[in-house]
Amino acid sequence: MKNLVIILAGLMLVACGQSQEASFSLGSTEEKLSQSFEIITESQKVDVLWVIDNSGSMKSSQEALAANFESFSNKFVDKDYDFQMAITTTDAYKASGFSGANSRFVGGIMDKNTVNFVEKFTDNVQVGTNGSADERGQQSVEAALENGLNSGLVRDGARLAVIFVSDEDDTSSENNDYYFDYLKEKTNSTDDKLNFSVSTISVTDQACKLKLGSSTSVHKIGKRYNDLALASNGTVTSLCDDFSDSLSEISDKITRSVITKISNISLNKTPIRETLKVFINNTEMPESVDGSEGWIYDAKSNQITFTEGSVPEADAQFRVAYTPNGL
């Protein structure tokens, strides 16, 4: 019996409405076969709400966010995603009802057609440090999104990404379940599919508190923010890490999560199941187990698909290696 290993290799283009013919080779010492198929992907619209802590200790963090913002925005701009972004603060909750000036977006809603988008965002995101020391980020999300003067950020059919940047924990009046359910209803999410995610740049542990120079109460671990991020399959990053890396990690997760359609990868031969491996940019990708992120093999159709949030990013190289059954 021949021990033949098949390697499928190609270039995946992930962008709205893009497609690419990919050719694959099947080889042995005796024969060569080839397979061609079309990969088609589509991306969902994405609306991003930044919630910036504007208390007295946040000046350097706001500056770091502004200086490294392009690590976040490049993927949205370069791949021509249909995006919107807006900024609010952790004391937007102090507005009178849902119409006060405190809960107005800082600089309005920006999108890919905004003139000098990056410059405008970096100016607006430095919201100052004269805000309340009682930071209520989740409550401020509700206040900002319910302010009629901010209408238009959350669009039908779009995915909402909320990003908290804070060096303290959330002190909103309701518990996390309340705000999770609020975002779920606001985005028409279901139990099976969330149309929103929460990500954080926050104090993640005691070591970060000490690095920031606070062993007591000036800085606090952002437990409530981070718990909400984990519950929504978002990204938790540390305020003490390099902002460029954190912003890139968050944008990677968001852009992968808005891929709504990708053609299945059909294998030429039926694999011996335990030999099947998937590689993205020459790094082995985990198989999805009990809903975890990764790839899925459907034996009935002999195809590979990806879970939400695991679709390879634009221009990623991928290959599938396996030993065929019966050879």
> Do the beta carbons of residue 26 and residue 34 sit within 8 Å?
yes
Q: Tell me what pLDDT residue 79 has.
A: 81
Q: Centre a 10 Å sphere on the Cβ of residue 44 and count the other Cβ atoms it contains.
A: 16
Tell me: pLDDT of 271 over 60: yes
- Confidence band, pLDDT 50/70/90 cuts, at residue 257: confident
Separation of CA 19 from chain center: 23
Place of tokens 């905004």: 114
> Do the beta carbons of residue 264 and residue 303 sit within 8 Å?
yes
Burial of residue 46, with CB atoms counted within 10 A of its CB: 0-12 exposed, 13-18 middle, 19 or more buried: buried
Tell me: pLDDT of 235 over 60: yes
Q: What is the mean pLDDT of the chain?
A: 83
- Confidence band, pLDDT 50/70/90 cuts, at residue 295: confident
Q: Which domains does the chain have, with CATH numbers?
A: 6-38+271-322 (no CATH), 45-257 (3.40.50.410)
Choose among 9, 60, 56: nearest CA to 212. 60
For the stretch 38-86, pLDDT in tens is 444 566 899 999 999 999 999 999 999 999 999 999 989 888 889 999 9
Tell me: pLDDT of 246 over 90: yes
Place of tokens 């939400």: 308
Choose among 203, 157, 188, 162: nearest CA to 61. 203
Identify the helix (H) or strand (E) that includes residue 164.
strand 158-165
d(CA 261, CA 16) in angstroms, rounded, equals 10
For the stretch 117-155, pLDDT in tens is 999 999 999 999 999 999 999 999 999 999 999 999 999
d(CA 236, CA 226) in angstroms, rounded, equals 6
Q: Tell me what pLDDT residue 26 has.
A: 39
Separation of CA 57 from chain center: 27
- Is pTM beyond 0.85? Reply is no
For the stretch 190-227, pLDDT in tens is 998 899 999 999 999 999 998 887 655 678 999 999 99
More confident residue, 298 or 307: 298
> Do the beta carbons of residue 200 and residue 233 sit within 8 Å?
no
List Cβ neighbours of 200 (8 Å cut-off, separation of 6 or more).
Answer: 163, 164, 165, 166, 222, 225, 226, 229, 234, 235, 236, 237
